[in-house]
């Protein structure tokens, strides 16, 4: 069966220049907003395990989850997970944005910030949102990177005028 190598950025040679979709958009961004895109992401489907060794499991539906891991370990984790589950490397699909501060989040989403992780709209873009204290991580389709970065930076600006 095809290993879908063309989906995995982790299989590129060292000379190939990886560029985060958020790199340019976050130039000059406040410290409260940072790039998480260089994170391994594997989507798994089927009977989800309770946890995944070597990764953080975010349950999206009862049968679908997103595993976040060290980017350099993605291919290894993908192979491991593929033994029992449908697993696919979505590292390149999703960009990741870290946002510090509930106030900023309230300006960009109406998700219940006390009931995370959750999936829903962030300024009209579907995202998976997780929380660690006052820090939030947004995982969303990478092609919206420039747009969402601009939205988050603008929301931050609106609160700190």
Instruction: For residue 41, list its beta bridge partners.
Output: 68
CB closer to another protein, 78 vs 155: 155
Listed residue (9, 22, 8) closest to 144, CA to CA = 22
Q: Residue 14 to residues 10, 71, 82, 90, 94: CA-CA distances in angstroms? A: 10, 14, 25, 20, 21
**Which residue in the set 43, 69, 129, 139 belongs to the binding site for another protein (CB under 8 A)?**
43
CB closer to another protein, 53 vs 83: 83
Q: Is 120 in the site for another protein (CB under 8 A)?
A: no
Considering the complex, what minimum distance in angstroms separates the CB of residue 27 from another protein?
A: 11
Q: Is 88 in the site for another protein (CB under 8 A)?
A: yes
- CA 71/CA 39 separation, integer angstroms: 5
Using an 8 Å Cβ cutoff, are 44 and 36 in contact?
no
Q: Is 131 in the site for another protein (CB under 8 A)?
A: no
**Which residue in the set 65, 81, 91, 119 belongs to the binding site for another protein (CB under 8 A)?**
91
CB proximity list for 3: less than 8 A, separation 6 or greater: none
Residues that bind another protein (CB under 8 A): 1-2, 4-9, 11-21, 24, 37, 43, 45, 86, 88, 90-94, 106-107, 109-110, 112, 114, 123-125, 141-147, 151, 154-155, 158
């Amino acid at each position: 069966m095809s290993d879908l190598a063309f989906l995995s950025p982790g299989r590129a040679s060292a000379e190939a220049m990886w560029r985060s979709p958020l790199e340019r958009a976050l130039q000059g961004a406040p410290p409260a907003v940072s790039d998480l895109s260089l994170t391994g992401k594997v989507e798994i489907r089927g009977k989800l395990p309770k946890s995944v060794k070597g990764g953080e499991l975010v349950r999206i539906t009862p049968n679908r989850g997103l595993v976040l891991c060290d980017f350099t370990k993605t291919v290894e984790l993908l192979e491991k997970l593929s033994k029992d589950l449908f697993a696919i490397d979505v590292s390149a699909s999703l960009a990741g944005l870290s946002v510090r501060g509930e106030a900023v989040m309230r300006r960009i989403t109406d998700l219940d910030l006390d009931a995370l992780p959750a999936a829903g709209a962030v300024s009209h873009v579907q995202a998976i949102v997780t929380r660690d204290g006052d820090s939030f991580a947004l995982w969303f389709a990478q092609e919206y990177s420039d747009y969402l970065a601009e939205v988050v930076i603008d929301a931050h600006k609106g609160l700190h005028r």
